[in-house]
């Protein structure tokens, strides 16, 4: 049996369990993972260890995974059209280079599946203004722009639609996105109560790797939006660029010894966390290794550089290979769109029937 057919049969099994009964229950559906990433530049090391590598590993555990390049979310802030088109392809290439297998994971461009926007509108008719106003992301992001747009306010509803459209039951998220996942659960519950039990509960999946911090300001997480490129390690950085960035990373003058203390020594602890995340060793083991080898901060930074380059240089090389054949890359995204659309069209058909639109 083909994987596409198996996905479809699982989807139909989920639909058989929905009823017209108006209560607070969730539908019982097969396990399905959904996650998304914005095409707003090359992913950095924090994206890799905190999200992308988790998705790669989940391919071995789950039979049904969808990974969307969420371009509709990216236009909540102004984008250059040519750069956005390029970033979508670069993101797809990067995900594949990191280990996402398009045969196992449905990898697709969000805007190519129109049902995301359709379900977003229907869910928006179930969501109150106060519910969105209470989300911390709106309060934080709206302060950073002089004239915040409606899309920035309502994008959490689109996130909910992204998740619910595929009857997703597992959603890998960062801790800062848990409130948005709770909104998805609330909207699923509201729809089920008002129209009939159709959507399952979506549960969070949070990895256990440490959060990677800025190399220049370890009080903040590593971020693509930071104007200072030296604050992050991009997955396409050359080995010499990685060396320079780590050599100039903020540490401290507390002691010449290598110790792990996120409160008193956040910069040095961040470098230890990077080594820990990439090697699978605990922070204690990393510290012991530095002691056994008699490392000072300079030699430790050289060790961190070597560790990072061993991980990201093969990714960078594979990205360039994939990007050299744009036709094949577009065909991968087209195949992903077709596979995602089979599931999305089935959901929207039942949604419209229940709501009374068809």
One of 141, 149, 211, 352 is an active-site residue; which one? 141
Handedness of CA 56, 58, 63, 66 (dihedral sign): negative
> Across the beta sheet with 170-172, what order do the strands follow?
105-109, 65-69, 33-37, 170-172, 203-205
Cβ atoms of 216 and 230 within 8 Å: the answer is yes
Tokens at 329, concatenated? 């890359």
Centroid of chain to Cα 252 = 32
141 in catalytic set: yes
Nearest partner of 305 among 253, 244, 255, 258, judged by Cα: 244
Nearest partner of 278 among 101, 41, 91, 50, judged by Cα: 50
One of 149, 221, 281, 352 is an active-site residue; which one? 221
DSSP code for 293 = T
For residue 221, the cross-strand partners are 213
Cβ atoms of 160 and 189 within 8 Å: the answer is no
149 in catalytic set: no
One of 104, 149, 211, 224 is an active-site residue; which one? 224
Centroid of chain to Cα 61 = 18
Which residues does the annotation mark as catalytic? 141, 221, 224
């Amino acid at each position: 049996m083909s994987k596409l057919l198996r996905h479809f049969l699982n989807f139909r099994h989920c639909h058989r369990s929905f009823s017209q009964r108006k209560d607070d229950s969730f539908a019982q559906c097969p396990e399905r993972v959904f996650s998304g990433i914005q095409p707003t530049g090359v992913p950095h090391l924090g994206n890799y260890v905190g999200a992308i590598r988790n998705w790669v590993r989940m391919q071995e555990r789950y039979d049904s995974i969808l990974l969307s390049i969420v371009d509709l979310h990216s236009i909540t802030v102004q984008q250059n059209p040519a750069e956005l088109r390029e970033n979508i392809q670069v993101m797809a290439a990067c995900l594949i280079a990191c280990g996402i297998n398009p045969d196992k994971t449905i990898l697709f461009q969000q805007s190519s599946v129109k049902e995301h926007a359709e379900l977003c509108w229907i869910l928006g008719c179930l969501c109150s203004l106060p519910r969105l106003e209470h989300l911390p992301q709106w309060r934080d992001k709206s302060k950073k722009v002089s004239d915040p747009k409606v899309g920035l306010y309502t994008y959490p509803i689109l996130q909910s639609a992204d998740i619910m459209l595929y009857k997703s039951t597992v959603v890998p998220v960062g801790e800062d996105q848990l409130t948005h996942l709770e909104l998805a659960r609330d909207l699923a519950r509201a729809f089920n109560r008002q129209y009939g039990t159709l959507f399952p509960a979506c549960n969070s999946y949070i990895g256990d790797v440490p959060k990677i911090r800025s190399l220049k300001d370890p009080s903040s997480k590593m971020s693509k939006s930071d104007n200072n490129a030296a604050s992050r390690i991009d997955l396409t950085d050359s080995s010499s660029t990685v060396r320079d960035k780590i050599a100039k990373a903020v540490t401290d003058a507390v002691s010449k010894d290598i110790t792990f203390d996120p409160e008193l020594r956040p910069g040095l602890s961040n470098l230890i966390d990077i080594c820990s995340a990439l090697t699978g060793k605990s922070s204690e083991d990393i510290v012991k290794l530095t002691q056994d080898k008699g490392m000072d901060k300079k030699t430790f930074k050289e060790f961190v550089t070597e560790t990072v380059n061993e991980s990201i240089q093969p990714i960078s090389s594979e990205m360039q290979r994939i990007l050299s054949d744009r036709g094949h890359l577009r065909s991968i995204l087209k195949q992903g769109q077709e596979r995602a659309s089979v599931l999305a069209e089935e959901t929207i058909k039942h949604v419209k029937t229940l709501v009374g639109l068809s």
